[in-house]
Structure 1
């Protein structure tokens, strides 16, 4: 399925909101239609280079939505 994601390609670079491919849910997982998501301070640390991380990295883990499957 196609999604939109805030992707960090390199530490210190601006986030890039792009379309990406995501596999559907596996056994024991649910599919949530995300209505809103935020990037919080713990996302900003790797983006700014404060914490070591591998890139590319999809940021944003505070979300709300509707369970679809």
Structure 2
């Protein structure tokens, strides 16, 4: 199988991974108060996770069987 992605899609994938990582990092960090850390962390984690689903579907939709081309 081969998947072709355009630059905006790669950027979205990288951005969502960054938000997911930042959310997890905030949940584990000690720089903010516990309440601020939980709020920011869970928000970033949720946005990162929720935006992953449509991107996965988009990537799977673009897969091309190399034997067909």
Structure index of larger Rg: 2
Higher relative contact order (CA 8 A, sep 6+): 2
Say yes or no: TM over 0.5. no
TM-score by length of 2: 0.25
User: Which structure's residues are more often strand, by fraction?
Assistant: 1
